[in-house]
């Protein structure tokens, strides 16, 4: 599967882009209506009419400046499904918005580590809007197997989760810590691969545990409880540093703990004995376009079924609050109409 950078898409590039959006203007204020007026997009840019945009935990962190690198105003959103103005091509716009193409990482097929990247909804205006400008070479065609709203969570929760799953190795016993948007997608992929998936939720989250079991997980328990078997690998989706030593303590020798978020609270100290035995802790950074094309093709084959709750764009603050409180089953998705 190739990226959606065909000449027919690029030829539709207008010289002016305007949009209705919701933006964060400070780390302490809620999102508010915002008008985007950007002139003279770069040569490879296209304007996309947004159909749906997923809401990600990264949106929570950046609008509150928990990365200590936000520049306001920010129009968040990097799980975008839309249609290219002038061609009608249906595309997805992910977190990785552009890379430099010439740093050592880009030259070695590791563009996810680019020294000078752009990110959708962070350094570029994102999808909490009616329209967005994106680099055509970093957009993905959406497989016909997915409707518009179903596809939105795949553009980050799915893509980053897939990279995390690959880095977790091929072990059969897999733990997923934090059963939200990413875990509910990756659980389906891992079960299809024949793995035994063990879900870990916030303590007392019976509904989340039942949801995990309904997707084929072998077990579901509170995050501090032991799994029914030692784990070959675990992916920590929740931004809670204390879960890293918790997951590490459940590993077999040679086990891998993958930290799948951009932001996480500090990791507490732990005994070296828990790491000994060639156990590994590693992080995931962004994604490559190859990851995206690979995952979307696989997701259509599984097929992955996303669970979504839709909100009009004008209720973006409510969607963020519910996500922060852990009260969204699956993924939240914003709809520009009525925004």
Convert the pLDDT of each residue in 49-96 to its tens digit.
999 999 998 999 889 888 878 789 999 999 999 999 989 999 999 999
| Cα–Cα distance, 120 to 123 (Å, whole number) | 6
Long-range pairs for 200-207: beta carbons < 8 A, 24 or more residues apart: 200/175, 200/176, 200/225, 200/227, 200/243, 202/326, 205/179, 205/326, 207/329
Percent of the chain past pLDDT 70, that is, above it, reads: 94
Closest CA to 130 of 14, 49, 13, 54: 49
The CATH number linked to 190 is 3.40.50.720
Dump pLDDT digits (tens) for 264-316. Answer: 999 999 999 999 999 999 999 999 999 999 999 999 999 999 999 999 999 99
Dump pLDDT digits (tens) for 118-138. Answer: 999 999 999 999 999 999 999
**107 and 223 fall within a common domain:** no
Does 106 have pLDDT greater than 60?
yes
Does 338 have pLDDT greater than 60?
no
Res 8: pLDDT = 44
Closest CA to 205 of 218, 193, 223, 217: 223
User: 328 in a domain, yes or no?
Assistant: yes
How large is the average pLDDT for residues 162-177?
97
User: 292 in a domain, yes or no?
Assistant: no
User: 245 in a domain, yes or no?
Assistant: yes
**137 and 265 fall within a common domain:** no
User: 289 in a domain, yes or no?
Assistant: no
| Cα–Cα distance, 172 to 200 (Å, whole number) | 17
Does 247 have pLDDT greater than 90?
yes
**30 and 149 fall within a common domain:** yes
Structural domain boundaries enclosing 185:
158-283
**165 and 52 fall within a common domain:** no
**Count of domains in the chain?**
2
User: 294 in a domain, yes or no?
Assistant: no
User: 234 in a domain, yes or no?
Assistant: yes
Q: Are 27 and 290 in contact (CB under 8 A)?
A: no
Res 68: pLDDT = 79
Q: 5: pLDDT confidence band, cut at 50, 70 and 90?
A: very low
User: 297 in a domain, yes or no?
Assistant: no
Res 40: pLDDT = 65
**136 and 243 fall within a common domain:** no
- Please count the CA atoms within 13 angstroms of the CA of 35 that sit on its side-chain side: 1
Res 42: pLDDT = 78
**178 and 102 fall within a common domain:** no
**193 and 234 fall within a common domain:** yes
Q: Which H/E stretch holds residue 214? A: helix 206-214
| Cα–Cα distance, 26 to 262 (Å, whole number) | 20
User: Alpha helices of 22-115 — where are they, by DSSP H?
Assistant: 57-63, 104-107
The CATH number linked to 79 is 3.90.180.10
Res 2: pLDDT = 41
β pairing state of 173-177 and 196-201: parallel
**67 and 139 fall within a common domain:** yes
**113 and 236 fall within a common domain:** no
**25 and 42 fall within a common domain:** yes
Residue 7: how many other CB atoms lie within 10 Å: 8
User: 188 in a domain, yes or no?
Assistant: yes
Q: 1: pLDDT confidence band, cut at 50, 70 and 90?
A: very low
**163 and 151 fall within a common domain:** no
Please provide the average confidence, as pLDDT, over all residues in the chain. 92
Res 18: pLDDT = 78
Dump pLDDT digits (tens) for 8-42. Answer: 445 455 555 678 999 999 999 999 999 988 666 77
**238 and 209 fall within a common domain:** yes
Largest CA distance in the chain: 60
Please give the model's pTM, rounded to 2 decimal places. Answer: 0.91
Res 4: pLDDT = 46
Res 88: pLDDT = 93
Q: Which residues are within 8 A (CB) of 185 and not within 5 positions of it... i.e. 6 or more apart?
A: 153, 154, 157, 158, 161, 299, 304, 306
């Amino acid at each position: 599967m190739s990226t959606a950078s065909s000449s027919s898409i690029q030829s539709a590039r207008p010289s002016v882009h305007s949009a209705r959006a919701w933006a964060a203007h400070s780390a302490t204020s809620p999102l508010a209506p915002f008008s985007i007026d950007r002139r003279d997009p770069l040569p490879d840019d296209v304007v996309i009419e947004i159909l749906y945009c997923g809401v990600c935990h990264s949106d929570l962190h950046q609008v509150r400046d928990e990365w200590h690198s936000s520049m306001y105003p920010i129009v968040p959103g990097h799980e975008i499904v839309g249609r290219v103005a002038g061609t009608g091509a249906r595309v997805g716009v992910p977190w990785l918005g552009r890379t430099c193409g010439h740093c050592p990482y880009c030259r070695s097929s590791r563009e996810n580590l680019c020294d000078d990247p752009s990110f959708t909804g962070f350094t570029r205006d994102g999808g909490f809007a009616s329209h967005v400008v994106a680099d055509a070479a970093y957009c993905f065609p959406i497989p016909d197997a997915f409707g518009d709203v179903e596809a939105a969570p795949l553009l980050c929760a799915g893509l980053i989760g897939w990279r995390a799953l690959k880095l977790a190795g091929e072990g059969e016993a897999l733990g997923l810590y934090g059963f939200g948007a990413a875990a509910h997608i990756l659980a389906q992929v891992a079960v299809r691969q024949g793995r035994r998936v063990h879900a870990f939720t916030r303590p007392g989250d019976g509904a989340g545990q039942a949801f995990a079991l309904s997707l084929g997980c072998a077990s579901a328990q509170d995050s501090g409880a032991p799994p029914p078997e030692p784990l070959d690998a675990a992916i920590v989706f929740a931004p809670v540093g204390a879960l890293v030593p918790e997951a590490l303590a459940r590993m077999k020798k040679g086990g891998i703990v993958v930290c799948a978020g951009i932001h996480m609270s500090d990791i507490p100290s732990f005994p070296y004995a828990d790491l000994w035995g060639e156990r590994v802790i590693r992080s995931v950074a962004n994604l490559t376009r190859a990851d995206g094309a690979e995952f979307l093709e696989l997701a259509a084959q599984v097929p992955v079924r996303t669970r979504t709750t839709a909100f009009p764009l004008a209720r973006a603050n409510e969607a963020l609050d519910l996500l922060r409180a852990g009260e969204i089953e699956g993924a939240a998705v914003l709809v520009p109409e009525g925004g």
